[in-house]
A and B are shown apart, each in its own frame.
Chain A
Amino acid sequence: MNQKTLMKVCSVALVVYVLLAVAFYFICGDQLKFRDNTTDMLSANGVIGEITSDVVLSQKIDLSGDRLIGLTLYGATYERQNTGILRVELYSDDKLIALSDVDVSGLADNALFYVPFNMEDISGVKTAELRISAPEGVSGNAVTLYVGNTYQAAHNQIDAGLGVDDLLLINGVASDIALCMSINTRDILSLGTYYWQIAFGFALILAVYFAWILRRYKQGKGSMFLNVIDAFYRYKYLIKQLVARDFKAKYKRSVLGILWSFLNPLLTMTVQYIVFSTLFKSDIPNFALYLLSGIVCFNFFNEATTMALSSIVGNASLITKVYVPKYIYPLTRVVSSTVNLLLALIPLFVVMILTGSPFTFSLLLVPLCVICLFAVALGIGLFLSSAMVFFRDTQFLWGVVSMLWMYATPIFYPESIIPEKFMTLYKCNPLYHIIRFLRIVLMDGLSPEPKAYLLMIIISFVPLIIGSVVFKKTQDRFVLNI
C-alpha cells in the first residue's frame, strides 16, 4: 500500500460521493422536497340527496401537513347532465382559508369528484370546517354526495368510530354519518430545502477525514480506513477465487446450471402466486411483482445467512492450516449469495415488463437496497458463524428462527393486515424496511420519502455492527473449538 494508491482511493471516493449526491438529487426528484398524504375514504353507505341552493353541508375535518392540494369527494349525478357549480370552502376559526368552485357539468355519475385547491398554507391549522354548497342548484339540476360510517379493511367493514364532532351537519342539523372524502395534503421536507447545504457538509467532513488519514499515513500510523483498503487489495483475488468455487460447486453436474438462479425465485413465486391469488383472495395490486420482490429479498437473506452459518466450521481444515483472516469465509459466502441475488433480479425485471410497471430513474435506487441487504446478511452471517463454532445447536435453531423471520416479514401478505400493536416489532425488522423500499421503487416507480432511507440504512447496519463486534471478539478462539 503506497501513498499513490491511497491518494487514488481517497480521490475516487470523493468523486463517487459527489456523483452520487448529485444523481441522488435528480433520482429522488420531488420526493426529496415534499411528501403528499392522502387520508382514507369512508365506504359509501348512502347519499344525502340533491344539493340545491338551500342546502349547506358542513363538517369538521382534521388537517395535517403544510399545504392543501385538494379534496376528493364521492358523488353521483342522478344519471343526468347537471349544470352549475359546487362550492367547497374551508374555514378555520370562521376565517376562509381555501375556496374552490367545481363545475358540476364535468362530473360523471357514481364517481370521484376531485376538488383542487391552490396549495394554501395550512401549516398552523389542525382542524377546519368544510362547507359545501351549490349556489345555483335547483331540484332536477343538482348533484349529490355519498356518505358513510365504516372503513373497508381487507374483506370486512369496520366501524369508523365517528365522534360527535366528526359528523356531517346538513343546514346545521347533525346527522349520524360523514362525507366520503379524502384530503390531499403536502408536507414540505426540510431535507429537500437544505439538500445542497447538507450534501456539501458531508463532502467537507469526508475531505477532512481523508486529509487526516493521509497525514497519519505519512507519520507511519495506521487507521481503520487504511486497514480496510489494504485488506481489500490483498484479499480481493482470494475472495474472487472462493466465490468462483462456490458457484462452480453449487451448480456442478446439474443440467440447467446457472439457470436455476433465475428459475428458483420464479418457480417459488408461481407456486405462491397460485396459492395466494386463488385460495386466499389477495387484493394487492400487481400481486405478482409484490410477491416476487419479497421472495427475492428473503431468499437471498435465507441463503446467505445459512451459508455463512457453516462457513467457519465447514472450512475447519483450512483455518487450522493456513492463515487467512477469518472474516473472509463468511464474507465470501455472502458475496456469492449476492451474485445470485443480482441474477435473481433479472426475472424480477421481466415480471415488471410483463405487468407493465413503470420504468423510471428511481430504479437506480435498487443497488441501495442490495447494499442494505448485503449489510444485514453479512452482519447476521458473522454472528451466526461464530456462534456455530461454540454451539452446534445454532444451525437447528436458525432453521426455526429464519422461518419465524419469514412470517414476520410482509412477503406474501399486505402490510395493511399487520396489527397496530406489532408494528414496533416490524419496524425493528431490517427486511421489512428494505422490502418496503424496494416495492415503492419497483411498483410505484417513485423514490420513497427521506425517512424511509434513513430507517432502512440505519436499521440495516445495526446487525452488521453487532455481528462484526461479536466475530472480532471471538475469532481468536475459533481454532481451539473447531
Chain B
Amino acid sequence: MVIQANNISMCYRMTYDRVQSIKEYLVQLVKGNIKYEEFWALRDVSFEVRSGEVLGIIGHNGAGKSTLLKVISGILKPTAGSISVSGTVVPMLELGSGFDFDLTGRENIFLNGAILGYSEEFLNDKYDEIVEFSELGNFIDVPLRNYSSGMVMRLAFSVATVVNPDILIVDEILAVGDAEFQEKSKKRMLELMGGGTTVLFVSHSIEQIREMCDQVLWLDHGQAKMLGETRIVCDAYEGV
C-alpha cells in the first residue's frame, strides 16, 4: 500500500475577524467576542491506494478535494485520523512556488527544484531537458521579472514535470502557455500519469477521470460519498 488513509478529519476553526495581536485578543476576550465556528473540511475519509494505481477525486466546489490533497502531501496535518505515505510525493498543486523574480531562470530552476525535493545530481542531469522543454532559449539567463507571465508558467511547468516521483498529486490537468505549448504540456502530463506512477488526480472533467483512473473517490461536503470502480462512481455522480 503506497497511501493509506484512515478516518481523516480536518477541522478549521474560523473566527469572523482574525485576531492577530495580543491587544486585540484581550479586548475581544473581555468583550466575550471570541467565537469560533468549526468547519469540517473533511470528515472520516478513508481509502487506500496501491502502487501504480490512479485514484480520481471528484466532487463539487468546497467538497474538500484540495484539502485532501494538502493532507496527503503533508502540508496540512489532519485534526484526527492517520495517514501513511511511502515514497516521494510531488504535488502539482500550484506551479512555480518559491520562484524568486529577481533571480534568473537558471537560478530559479535550481531553487524551485530544490523546494520540490529534487537532488542536486538530478537537477544537473535534467537541466538541459528542462530548458529545452520550456522553449525559453536565451531568456534562461534573464531575471524572471522580465519574463512574460506565459514564460513564467512554461518554466514552472517544465521544472515541475521533469520528475519521476513515486506519487504524483495533480489538481486538474494543467495546460499553460499558447495553444501549441498547451498541447505539449497536456501530453506531458498524460505521459507522466500513465507512466506507472501512483497518481492522485483531481478534476472537474468527468471525461478525463473516466479515461485515466482505476478507482474514484467522490467527496461531498467533506465526506466520502462513494469510493469504488471508476465507471460506477462516475455514473452515480453524473446521475445526480
Give me the interface of A with B, judged by CB distance under 8 Å. 234, 237-238, 240-242, 244-245, 248-249, 252, 317-324, 391-393, 476, 479-480
- Say whether A320 contacts B100, CB under 8 Å: no
- Say whether A479 contacts B111, CB under 8 Å: no
Mark interface residues in B65-83 (1 if CB within 8 Å of A CB, else 0).
0000010011111000000
A11 to B188, CA, bound (A): 45
**B23 in the interface, Cβ–Cβ < 8 Å?**
yes
**B20 in the interface, Cβ–Cβ < 8 Å?**
yes
Q: In this complex, which of B22, B23, B25, B115 has the most chain A Cβ atoms within 10 angstroms of its Cβ?
A: B115
A249 to B107, CA, bound (A): 12
- Say whether A322 contacts B91, CB under 8 Å: yes
Question: Given A248-B107, A480-B13, are A323 and B114 neighbors across the interface (CB < 8 Å)?
Answer: no
**B98 in the interface, Cβ–Cβ < 8 Å?**
yes
Question: Given A248-B102, A392-B20, are A323 and B111 neighbors across the interface (CB < 8 Å)?
Answer: no
- Say whether B100 contacts A249, CB under 8 Å: yes
Residues of B within 8 A of A234 (CB): 117
Q: Which of B1-45 contact A (CB under 8 A)?
A: 12-13, 20-23, 25
- Say whether B73 contacts A323, CB under 8 Å: yes
A237 to B124, CA, bound (A): 12
A247 to B: closest C-beta gap in Å: 11
- Say whether B12 contacts A480, CB under 8 Å: yes
**B89 in the interface, Cβ–Cβ < 8 Å?**
yes
- Say whether A237 contacts B91, CB under 8 Å: no
B143 to A: closest C-beta gap in Å: 9
Residues of B within 8 A of A245 (CB): 100, 103, 107, 111
A395 to B208, CA, bound (A): 48
8 closest A-B pairs by CB: A323-B74, A241-B114, A238-B114, A476-B77, A321-B97, A237-B120, A393-B21, A392-B20
Q: Of all chain B residues, which has the CB nearest A323?
A: B74
A241 to B123, CA, bound (A): 12
Question: Given A241-B110, A248-B102, A480-B12, are A322 and B21 neighbors across the interface (CB < 8 Å)?
Answer: no
- Say whether B97 contacts A322, CB under 8 Å: yes
- Further pairs besides A244-B107, A318-B115, A322-B116: 5, Cβ < 8 Å: A241-B114, A248-B107, A252-B102, A319-B75, A323-B91
**B61 in the interface, Cβ–Cβ < 8 Å?**
no
Residues of B within 8 A of A321 (CB): 75, 91, 93-94, 97
Between A and B, 18 residue pairs with Cβ closer than 8 Å are A237-B114, A244-B111, A245-B100, A317-B97, A318-B115, A321-B75, A321-B93, A321-B94, A322-B73, A322-B75, A322-B93, A322-B97, A322-B116, A324-B117, A391-B21, A391-B22, A393-B21, A479-B76
- Say whether A238 contacts B115, CB under 8 Å: yes
B92 to A: closest C-beta gap in Å: 10
Q: In this complex, which of A237, A252, A317 has the most chain B Cβ atoms within 10 angstroms of its Cβ?
A: A237
Q: Which of B169-226 contact A (CB under 8 A)?
A: none
A324 to B113, CA, bound (A): 12
Residues of A within 8 A of B70 (CB): 320
B161 to A: closest C-beta gap in Å: 15
Q: Of all chain A residues, which has the CB nearest B72?
A: A323
Number of interface residues of B (CB under 8 A): 31
A240 to B114, CA, bound (A): 9
Q: Of all chain A residues, which has the CB nearest B143?
A: A252
Q: Which of B136-178 contact A (CB under 8 A)?
A: none
- Say whether B97 contacts A249, CB under 8 Å: no
A249 to B76, CA, bound (A): 29
**B119 in the interface, Cβ–Cβ < 8 Å?**
yes
A244 to B107, CA, bound (A): 10
Residues of B within 8 A of A237 (CB): 114, 119-120
A480 to B10, CA, bound (A): 11
A67 to B151, CA, bound (A): 78
Residues of A within 8 A of B116 (CB): 322
- Say whether B114 contacts A392, CB under 8 Å: no
A245 to B119, CA, bound (A): 17
A249 to B114, CA, bound (A): 17
Q: Which of B45-71 contact A (CB under 8 A)?
A: 70
A317 to B98, CA, bound (A): 8
Residues of B within 8 A of A244 (CB): 107, 111
B64 to A: closest C-beta gap in Å: 15
A240 to B110, CA, bound (A): 10
A40 to B74, CA, bound (A): 63
Residues of B within 8 A of A392 (CB): 20-21
Residues of A within 8 A of B110 (CB): 241
Question: Given A249-B102, A317-B97, A319-B75, are A324 and B115 neighbors across the interface (CB < 8 Å)?
Answer: yes
B13 to A: closest C-beta gap in Å: 7
